[in-house]
């Protein structure tokens, strides 16, 4: 399949550019009978939405989604669900200056060489604006997963140099940073305010967790659950690294430390991040992702134009100084889509499997 479809049984296909008329998605494979309305998708869309605090881009997009198909009398029908979000706040004139210039660390250079041309308005297809549709599609997956007892949630675990410990899920919703530690919020705000004064941007680390996942999801050897998760999370704009469980920390771990021992009462640890041999173990699925600093900054940088001539580059316009701040709902959405797809695939092949061995909790 071409590159704008994700998933095998539960598939999400998206289209749409930053400054085109609209974003559109088709979500195929959702089981029938799920109560669904546009409002169900709006909540996550609003969490991702720009302009909700001074720490994100000031572009104003209501991101109002319309369900075009696949829902009848308030329930999914099993037929593909069409989704539409009109772009409303496109200021195309802002972007004409960069038409023939490759912004450093942007996709301009690579799109130009791949396609021979590009929609330069706001990054076109390479803009993070497309992630709105991931969030909408992910909200469908989340809602279905909830009926199976699965909950997918995320938070910011690091902003630039500031590490953020997990304190509580409730805290996540009470601040603009998706910080799980309310005590860190003031520090984060101060850091971001200084960053804007510095005319610079910074990276971030996001953690996503799925609880209630039954053992058995994942299709070795190539479509391991963690491999598909890595695919999904690395496909988000600006992501440069993905970890499952202990992640890169496992390099320095010893086997006696890393292995999660089992007792009749449950697993004693979760270095595996909920995945053993590429298949969910029933423990929480835990993944981390690293997002690079926003490439669009107003501090001048060296670049070239399409003729190969040197230029000094300043990215104007309205940009997030830390793309990671709005990334939590996107990461949740991608994890939900992966779990949904694997749940359906697993059912397809193993519907008749019966196991008497009890499922262990995470201690």
Among residues 48, 59, 143, 345, which is the contact residue for a second copy, using CB under 8 A?
345
CB distance 327 to 236 below 8 Å:
yes
CA distance 98 to 122: 9
Contact 203, 291 (CB under 8 A): yes
Minimum distance of a second copy from residue 335's CB (angstroms): 14
Q: How many CB atoms lie within 10 A of CB 299?
A: 11
Among candidate residues 326, 333, 335, the one with its CA nearest the CA of residue 135: 333
Binding status of residue 111 toward a second copy by CB under 8 A: yes
Q: Is position 2 an interface residue for a second copy (rule: CB under 8 A)?
A: yes
Q: Which of 57, 207, 280, 328 binds a second copy (CB under 8 A)?
A: 280
| CB closer to a second copy out of 161 and 170 | 161
Q: Which of 50, 122, 124, 180 binds a second copy (CB under 8 A)?
A: 124
Token pair 């992910």 in the structure block, residue:
138
Residue 171 CA to residue 88 CA, distance in Å, equals: 32
Give the count of beta carbons closer than 10 Å to the beta carbon of residue 319. 20
| C-beta of 284 vs 293, nearer to a second copy | 293
The yes or no reply on residue 350 touching a second copy (CB under 8 A) is: yes
284 binds a second copy (CB under 8 A): no
Mode of pairing for the β-strands spanning 22-28 and 81-86: antiparallel
The single residue among 50, 138, 154, 216 that binds a second copy, judged by CB under 8 A, is: 216
Residues 163-182 close enough to bind a second copy by CB under 8 A = none
Please say which residue, 22 or 146, places its beta carbon nearer to a second copy.
22
φ, ψ at 163 (rounded to 5°): -80, 140
Q: Could you tell me which of 247, 251, 236, 218 has the C-alpha nearest to residue 332?
A: 236
The yes or no reply on residue 336 touching a second copy (CB under 8 A) is: no
Among 64, 301, 318, 363, binds a second copy (CB under 8 A): 301
Binding residues for NADP(+): 48, 54
Output the known binding site. 48, 54, 125-127, 237-238, 277, 292-296, 318
């Amino acid at each position: 399949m071409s590159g704008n479809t994700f998933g095998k049984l539960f598939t999400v296909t998206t289209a749409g550019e930053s400054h085109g008329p609209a974003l559109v998605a088709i979500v195929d494979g959702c089981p029938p009978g799920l109560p669904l309305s546009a409002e169900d998708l709006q909540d996550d869309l609003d969490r991702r939405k720009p302009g909700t605090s001074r720490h994100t881009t000031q572009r104003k997009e209501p991101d109002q989604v319309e369900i075009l198909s696949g829902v009848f009398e308030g329930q999914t029908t099993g037929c593909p669900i069409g989704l539409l979000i009109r772009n409303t706040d496109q200021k195309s004139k802002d972007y004409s200056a960069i038409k023939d210039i490759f912004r450093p660390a942007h996709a301009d250079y690579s799109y130009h060489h791949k396609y021979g041309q590009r929609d330069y308005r706001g990054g076109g297809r390479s803009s993070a604006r497309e992630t709105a549709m991931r969030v909408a599609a992910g909200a469908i997956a989340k809602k279905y997963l909830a009926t199976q007892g699965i909950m997918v949630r995320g938070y910011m675990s690091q902003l630039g140099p500031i590490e953020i410990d997990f304190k509580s899920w409730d805290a996540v919703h009470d601040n603009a940073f998706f910080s799980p530690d309310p005590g860190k919020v003031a520090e984060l705000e101060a850091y971001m305010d200084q960053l804007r004064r510095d005319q610079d941007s910074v990276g971030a680390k996001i953690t996503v967790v799925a609880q209630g996942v039954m053992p058995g999801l994942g299709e070795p050897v190539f479509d391991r659950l963690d491999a598909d998760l890595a695919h999904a999370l690395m496909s988000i704009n600006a992501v440069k690294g993905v970890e499952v469980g202990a992640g890169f920390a496992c390099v320095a771990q010893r086997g006696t430390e890393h292995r999660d021992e089992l007792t009749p009462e449950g697993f004693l640890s979760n270095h595996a991040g909920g995945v053993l041999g590429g298949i969910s173990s029933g423990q929480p699925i835990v993944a981390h992702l690293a997002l690079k600093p926003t490439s669009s900054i107003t501090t001048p940088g060296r670049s070239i134009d399409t003729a190969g001539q040197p230029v000094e580059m300043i990215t104007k316009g309205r940009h997030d100084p830390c793309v990671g701040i709005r990334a939590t709902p996107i990461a949740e959405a991608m994890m939900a889509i992966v779990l949904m797809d694997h749940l359906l695939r697993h059912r397809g092949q193993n519907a008749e499997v019966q196991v008497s061995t009890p499922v262990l909790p995470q201690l």
